[in-house]
Structures are given as C-alpha cells and as structure tokens.
C-alpha cells in the first residue's frame, strides 16, 4: 500500500511546490509595482501591461531582443549600467522575442535589438544613440518638463540649443496678464508640463494654458520632446529688443530686415531656431496637427553629422541624403570649401527642400561608404543616397555642391544600384561556414532556406536595420584600429 501512496505524495509535493513558486513569483512582482525600478526588468505577455501601466513608472525604455543576437549582447550591459542612474525617471524593460513572440509581434518587431519608449499611453521608436551617456541624457530629458521658460536670446542658446542642435520657441504677448503673476526669481528658470505640483509649476502651467498658441505649443512639445528642445518666451520678462534679436537670429548682417511676423498673429509667433541659421517662422494655422507637422519636418539640423545613431531617423524622411564625405583631420581649403558650400546650399540652394544634407567622416565610415563607390583615399567627395530605393549618385569629376545636385537632377550623373545589404548577411554566413566546418548538409540546406526566406520578406525596415548594423560594425572596427 505504501508503495502506491509514495508516487501520489511525491506528485502532491511537486504540485504544492510549483504553486508556491508561482505564488512567490507573483508576490515578488506585486512588490515591484508602485516603486521606481533600478534594474532592468524581464517583461512578458503576462506582466507587460501591468508594469507599463504602473503610475510610479510613467516612462519606459523597452528592449526587444533575441539571446543569440550579437548587438543585443553588447547592449545588455549598457542598459544594466544605466538603470540605477535613471531610477524614478525612466524604467527599463527587456522582452525576449524568442520566448514571447506574440508580444514582439504586437509591436511589429522585425530586427534585434529594437528599442522603443513608452509615455502617456503611446509607444514610439527610440531615436537616439545606444551608448550609456546618450540613454541617460534621454531619460533625464524625457522625465523633465517639456517646455523651458526663457526671456532672452542668450538664454535660448544656453538652455535650448546646448541640449539639441534645433529648438522651437513660442511667443504670445497676449498672455502677459498670466505671466505677470509669475515671480521673476527661480520660477522663470523652471520648465513646464501638465503634471505640476508646486506653486511655481502651477503658475507656469497657467501661463502656458493661457492662450491657444501657447497651449498648442505645450501639447506638441510634450509629444515631440524626444526629438528637440522647446522654449516659451515669457512676455513679462522679454524686452522688445530681445524679440528683435530672435527675428534677426542667424543673420550675419544685422542691417538685413528681420523675419516678418503675420499681422494677424497679434505679434506672437512659433519658430524654429538653430545656431548660425536664420530663424524659421511657422506660418500655418495654429493647431496641434499643423504645429506637430512643422516640428516633425524641421527638427533635423540643416546639415547633420551622419552616424549609425541618426542614420535611420534621417533615412525615413522621404528624401535622399546629400552627403559630403571628408577626412576630419584634413584642413585643406578644398575640404573647408566643400563643407561651407554644403551648408550654404542647404540654407538657400535651388533644391534645398528635396534633400537631407549631411557630412560624414570618410575614414571612420570607410567600410560603410564603400558600397557607394566612395574611397577613403579620394576625399573629399559628394554622394547622394536614396536609402529606400537603394540607389545612389556619385561622380568625383563633378566639382561643387550646386553643380553636383544639378547634375543629379538633370540626369548627367546616372543613378546606380547600391550593393544590397542582404549580401552582407550571406557573407557572414559564408564566413561562419568556413570557420566552423564541417557542418551537416541538412543544416547547410536549412540555413540556405532561411536566407531565401529573409530575402523574400525583406522591406525597408530590415534594410535600414542592416544599414545601421553595417555602420555600427564599421564604427567598432574603426575604434579598435584607433586603440
């Protein structure tokens, strides 16, 4: 009889132990709710929504990864390192897409690692670099209030343009009655969002909500905070001569007429500012949709320094990239002239609205640039790249940015097909084959079938991710050489 009872008793012990383990895990998770997280949390379909909706952690950075992914393995210690610094500001979660495919499919994850951030009920693609400093800066910025109060042109430079190359400002003299109640002390130094708790914050929130123009600006700033900086000119502290400085912003000749403001605006305006670039006044209808579009279309610098961190962002604007490739250590007149011409063309060139203008370190990114027929031994050079179409235009015999763009437009420089990034994947597989022979033929055929399946399913998402990985790999190689 005893020998019959033993299996039953053993089974009961296993069941009770399992239930206890599950209960302990659930209790452990419950103790984490309502508290700031200082470590990276493993999120699954069963706990994802509970954690994300926790009011104590309103901002999240989410890492969708695969355990076998090399880039994921490099990113993991970075996230582990930044998590304690961002406790109470931004929580960090990771999702294993090999064991939780439904959750990753929910967010249309197509490559690893994929980073997204969550705030105010919405999920967004994380747009910046993946190093420790950049992620910490992002978390601190996104956990702060979205709009900075300023009163002078110098303050705009010090408080806005040091955070990002482009900033947006709003001025509305009709809300001066509200601003008069704001003390001239530290409150002018504060920033604004809808979560104000202290009296200065409540007063400033009242200021930004006092007119339709500032209210819309505040909403857009909150929504677009990851991509730029935003400032509100306090009417009671901003002198008329400071407004004139803003309207002359970026003009080398101060005798040139200032940017005009629509007479129907009552003297108020929303504008884009960038160091040494003329101010751009928003001239559309003051609505959330229109102002959001203005910010979205103008949040890149006039000339960006292209790298693996901003490549995806620049490539998804629906415009080709016009890139001046140069050697930063080359101070020759030819190099300086090219960079100067590129900037001037980006400001006032005939086809300035048709391209994203960029510079690129031809030595650091030589491996990446080789697919566009750019040789680091022959710098500086110009190249135009259409990423979605995988085409480029390159001809070192055409001198000058104006001539080059005109030649691209009229067909003098013929487009060429870029070497496909998917061949890079094949190269890696081939190298692995050489390194780890012998393989079974069954596995070889399985790999070939997988590659064929990837090629058939490839769209702009994977293409851009492969481009980014190529650039990051090139950067890694370059850093090793420098060391």
Averaged over successive runs of 10 residues, the pLDDT of the chain (483 residues) comes to 56 52 48 84 95 93 96 96 95 96 93 94 91 94 91 90 92 67 42 51 77 94 94 82 83 59 71 93 94 95 89 88 93 90 95 96 91 90 93 92 95 86 41 39 48 45 52 55 49
128 and 152 fall within a common domain: no
What string of DSSP letters covers 325-355? EE-TT---HHHHHHHHHHHHHHHH-TTGGGE
Q: How far apart are CA 140 and CA 128, in angstroms?
A: 14
**pLDDT value of residue 310:** 85
Residue 25 lies in a domain: no
**pLDDT value of residue 239:** 76
87 and 108 fall within a common domain: yes
**pLDDT value of residue 65:** 97
CA-CA-CA-CA torsion sign (290, 292, 295, 299): negative
CB atoms within 10 A of CB 338: 23
Residue 24 lies in a domain: no
Instruction: Please give, one letter per residue, the 3-state secondary structure of 18-58.
Output: HHHHHHHHHHHHHHHCCCCCCCCEECCCCCHHHHHCCCCCC
Residue 38 lies in a domain: yes
> In this structure, what CATH number is given to the domain that contains residue 373?
3.40.30.10
**pLDDT value of residue 3:** 55
293 and 400 fall within a common domain: no
**pLDDT value of residue 210:** 82
159 and 279 fall within a common domain: yes
| Structural domain ending residue among the three candidates 417, 434, 461 | 417
Please tell me the total count of domains within the chain: 4
217 and 346 fall within a common domain: no
149 and 293 fall within a common domain: yes
106 and 219 fall within a common domain: no
**pLDDT value of residue 131:** 93
Q: How far apart are CA 19 and CA 40, in angstroms?
A: 26
Residue 427 lies in a domain: yes
Question: How buried is 31 (Cβ within 10 angstroms: 0-12 exposed, 13-18 middle, 19+ buried)?
Answer: exposed
**pLDDT value of residue 258:** 56
Which residues, 6 or more positions from 334, have their beta carbon under 8 angstroms from its beta carbon? 380
123 and 152 fall within a common domain: no
Paired sense of beta strands 303-305 and 355-361, if any: parallel
168 and 294 fall within a common domain: yes
Range of the domain at 435: 421-478
194 and 308 fall within a common domain: no
| Structural domain ending residue among the three candidates 120, 140, 160 | 140
Q: How far apart are CA 344 and CA 355, in angstroms?
A: 13
188 and 270 fall within a common domain: yes
90 and 116 fall within a common domain: yes
């Amino acid at each position: 009889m005893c020998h019959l009872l033993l299996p039953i008793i053993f089974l009961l012990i296993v069941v009770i132990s399992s239930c206890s383990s599950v209960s302990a895990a659930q209790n452990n998770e419950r103790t984490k709710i309502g508290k700031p997280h200082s470590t990276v949390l493993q999120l699954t379909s069963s706990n994802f929504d509970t954690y994300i909706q926790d009011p104590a952690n309103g901002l999240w950075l989410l890492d969708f990864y695969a355990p076998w992914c090399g880039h994921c393995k490099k990113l993991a210690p970075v996230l582990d390192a930044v998590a304690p610094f961002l406790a109470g500001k931004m929580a960090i979660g990771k999702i294993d897409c090999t064991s939780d495919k439904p959750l990753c499919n929910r967010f249309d994850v197509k490559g690893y690692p994929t980073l997204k951030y969550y705030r105010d009920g919405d999920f967004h693609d994380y747009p910046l670099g993946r190093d420790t400093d950049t992620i910490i800066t992002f978390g601190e910025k996104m956990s702060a209030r979205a709009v900075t109060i300023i009163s002078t042109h110098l303050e705009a430079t010090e408080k806005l343009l040091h955070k990002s190359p482009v900033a947006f400002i709003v001025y509305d003299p009709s809300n001066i009655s509200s601003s008069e109640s704001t003390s001239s002390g530290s409150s002018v130094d504060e920033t604004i969002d809808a979560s104000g708790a202290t009296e200065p914050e409540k007063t400033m929130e009242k200021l930004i909500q006092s007119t339709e123009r500032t209210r819309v600006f505040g909403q857009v700033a909150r929504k677009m905070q990851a991509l730029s900086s935003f400032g509100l000119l306090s009417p009671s502290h901003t002198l008329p001569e400071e407004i004139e400085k803003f309207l002359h912003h970026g003009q080398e000749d101060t005798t040139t007429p200032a940017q005009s403001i629509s007479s129907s605006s009552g003297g108020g305006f929303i504008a884009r500012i960038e160091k040494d670039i003329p101010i751009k006044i928003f001239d559309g209808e003051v609505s959330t949709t229109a102002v959001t579009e203005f910010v979205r279309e103008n949040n890149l610098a006039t000339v960006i320094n292209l790298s693996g961190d901003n490549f995806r962002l620049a490539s998804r604007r629906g415009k080709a990239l016009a890139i001046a490739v140069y050697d930063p250590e080359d101070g020759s007149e030819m190099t300086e002239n090219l960079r100067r011409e590129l900037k001037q063309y980006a400001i006032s060139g005939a086809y300035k609205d048709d391209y994203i203008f960029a510079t690129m370190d031809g030595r650091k990114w030589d491996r990446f640039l080789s697919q566009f027929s750019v040789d680091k031994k022959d710098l500086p050079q110009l190249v135009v790249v259409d990423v979605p179409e995988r085409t480029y235009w390159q001809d070192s015999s055409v001198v000058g940015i104006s001539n080059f763009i005109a030649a691209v437009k009229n067909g003098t420089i013929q487009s060429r097909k870029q070497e496909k990034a998917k061949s890079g994947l094949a190269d890696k597989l081939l190298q692995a084959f050489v390194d780890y022979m012998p393989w079974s033929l069954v596995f070889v055929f399985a790999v070939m079938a997988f590659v064929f399946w990837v090629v058939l399913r490839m769209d702009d998402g994977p293409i851009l991710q492969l481009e980014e990985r190529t650039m990051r790999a090139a950067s890694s190689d370059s850093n090793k050489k420098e060391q």
